[in-house]
A and B are shown apart, each in its own frame.
Chain A
Amino acid sequence: MRLAVLMPVFNEQERLAETLADLRVTFAEDSSASLTDVTVFLVDDGSAPPIDEAAARASTSLMRVVFARHAVNLGQGAALETARRLALDARWQPEAGAFDAFVTMDSDGQHRARDVLAMARAIEGGADVALGDRFKGGSDVPKSRRILLALARAFERATTGLRLSDVHNGLRGFGPRAMAVIRIRQNRMAHATEISRRIALASSQRTALDVLRVVEVPVSVIYTRASLAKGQRASGAIAIVMDLFYGFLFGNEPRR
Chain B
Amino acid sequence: MSAEFTPAAAALVLLLAALFVHDFVTLARNRRLLLVQFVVFAGGAALIVYPEIARRLAHAAGIGRGVDFVLYPLVIWLVREALLSRRRRHEAQERMTELTRSIAMAGAREVTSAKVNGG
Contact = CB atoms under 8 A, between A and B. Distances in A.
A74 B110 contact: no
Interface residues of A, number: 32
Interface in A142-164: none
Interface in B103-119: 103-105, 107-114, 116, 119
A92 B96 CA distance: 24
A111 B90 CA distance: 32
B7 to A, nearest CB: 44
Interface string A176-212: 0000000001010000000000000000000000000
A69 B110 contact: no
Interface residues of B, number: 23
Interface in B66-112: 86-87, 90-91, 93-94, 96-97, 100-101, 103-105, 107-112
B105 A85 contact: yes
Contact of B87 (A69, A92, A250): A250
B111 A60 contact: no
B11 to A, nearest CB: 39
A249 B119 CA distance: 50
B100 A68 contact: no
Interface stretch (A50-58, A126-134, A223-231): A50-58
A90 to B, nearest CB: 12
B113 A72 contact: no
Interface of A: 24, 42-43, 53, 56-60, 64-72, 74, 78, 81-82, 85-86, 89, 91-92, 185, 187, 246, 249-250
